[in-house]
Amino acid sequence: MSDTWIVIVVVGALTIALKAVGPVLLGGRPLPQHLTGIVILLAPALLAALVVTQVLGGDEEIVLDARLVGLGAAVVALLLRAPLLVVVIAAAASTAVVRLFT
């Protein structure tokens, strides 16, 4: 087996297991009461981390670039209570325009 296939098979199997661990082992059952308070806060914590890493992330560094303008446009769209589609398009379009002129 080539190196590439080894990586594909191992990473694929590990990813499938990571995604399945909750639904397969705990599926259909409510979480224990004392864990609910933690799990409910997982979404805001992870979403905030995803925003930060996707807008500033580089190769082990913080990169300030046109994505910040896109996020700014998304903030404005959100303040205007625009629908999700408009928020996403505003971010992409403004980033594209800034890249076009810089």
Partner 1 sequence: MSPGRYRDGARKVAPIGIAAFAFGASFGVLARASGIQSVEAIVMSATTFAGSAQFAASSILGAGGGVLSAIVAATLLNARYAPISVSMAPVFTGGVVRRLLESQLIVDETWAVSRRTDGAFDRRLLVGAGLVLYPCWVGGTAVGAIAGDALADPADLGLDAAFPALFLALLVPQVRSRQALAAAVLGGMIALVLLPFTPAGVPIVAASAACLIGWRKP
Which residues ranging from 59 to 98 are in contact with partner 1 (CB under 8 A)?
59-62, 66-67, 69-71, 73-75, 78, 84-85, 87-98
> Which residues lie closer than 8 Å to 30 by C-beta, 6 or more apart?
36
Residue list 4-63, contact with partner 1 (CB under 8 A): 4-8, 10-12, 14-16, 18-34, 37-57, 59-62
Rounded to a whole number of angstroms, the minimum distance from the CB of residue 97 to partner 1 is 8
Determine if 3 is a binding residue for partner 1 (CB under 8 A).
Answer: yes
CA distances from 26 to 5, 35, 36 (A): 31, 13, 14
C-alpha distance from residue 61 to each of 24, 43, 71 (Å) = 37, 25, 19
CB of 43 to partner 1, least distance (A): 5
